[in-house]
Amino acid sequence: DVKVTQSSRYLVKRTGEKVFLECVQDMDHENMFWYRQDPGLGLRLIYFSYDVKMKEKGDIPEGYSVSREKKERFSLILESASTNQTSMYLCASSPQGAYYGYTFGSGTRLTVV
């Protein structure tokens, strides 16, 4: 069964901490994506990557960075976590053209206190 795995289901971090959210896919997909999901705002794209070491900003990249050193792994980094980054984070992957949509991970609920 193909899947996208997010390393943590729940995380609690302190303000100012550096936070890493990890995502691994086993489908040899070229594209990987990070979204944050907030009530009433839907899914908003933070960053995506279309190849190893390649990344593009999405709609809300401020306060975040990403890393893709291997094809199967895409990391989201909060350099200095703030309370307004408390949210649900969803990772997804797709082949080069997302004609069939994404495969999603099960999400990481991050709370910054």
Partner 1 sequence: AQTVTQSQPEMSVQEAETVTLSCTYDTSESDYYLFWYKQPPSRQMILVIRQEAYKQQNATENRFSVNFQKAAKSFSLKISDSQLGDAAMYFCACYSNSGYALNFGKGTSLLVTP
The least CB distance from residue 69 to partner 1, in Å, is: 19
Distances, alpha carbon 96 to alpha carbons 3, 7, 27, 32, 51, in Å: 17, 24, 12, 10, 9
Taking contact as CB under 8 A, which single stretch among the options 19-27, 60-68, 70-78, 95-103 is the one that binds partner 1? 95-103
Under the binding rule (CB under 8 A), the answer on residue 74 touching partner 1 is: no
**Closer to partner 1 at the Cβ: 9 or 80?**
9
Identified binder of partner 1 from the candidate list 24, 76, 78, 90, rule CB under 8 A: 90
Residues 49/32, Cβ–Cβ less than 8 Å: yes
Residue 30, token pair as written in the block: 């070229």
